[in-house]
Amino acid sequence: MPRTKMIRVFVIDDHPLVRIGMTWVLETQKDFRVVGEATNGKDALAAIARRRVDVVLCDYHLPDMDGLEVTRRLLEAHPDLKVLIVSVLEGGPVPRRLLAAGAMGYVSKARDGSAVVRAVREVAAGHRYLDDALGARVLFETTPFDQLSPRQLEVAMLMVQGKRNAEIALELDLTESTIRTVRAKVMAKLGVQTDIALARLAMDCGLIPPAGDGGAFRSNRSG
Q: Is residue 177 part of a domain?
A: yes
Q: Is residue 27 part of a domain?
A: yes
**What pLDDT is stored for residue 77 in this prediction?**
93
Q: Specify the 3-state DSSP secondary structure of 183.
A: helix
201 and 133, same domain (yes or no): no
- Its domain, for residue 74, covers 7-139
Q: What is the pTM of this model?
A: 0.67
Q: Is residue 101 part of a domain?
A: yes
CATH number of domain containing 163: 1.10.10.10
Q: Is residue 28 part of a domain?
A: yes
**What pLDDT is stored for residue 92 in this prediction?**
59
Which tens digits make up the pLDDT trace of 120-151? 999 999 998 887 766 555 555 667 887 888 78
Q: What is the mean pLDDT of the chain?
A: 84
Closest CA to 57 of 37, 42, 77, 75: 37
Q: Is residue 220 part of a domain?
A: no
Which tens digits make up the pLDDT trace of 19-29? 999 999 999 99
CATH number of domain containing 128: 3.40.50.2300
Tally of domains in the chain: 2
Domain boundary among 95, 112, 139: 139
188 and 94, same domain (yes or no): no
Write the Ramachandran bin of 135: left for phi over 0, alpha for psi from -120 to 50, otherwise beta: left
**What pLDDT is stored for residue 82 in this prediction?**
96
Buried b (16+ CB within 10 A) or exposed e, 18-27: ebeebbebbe
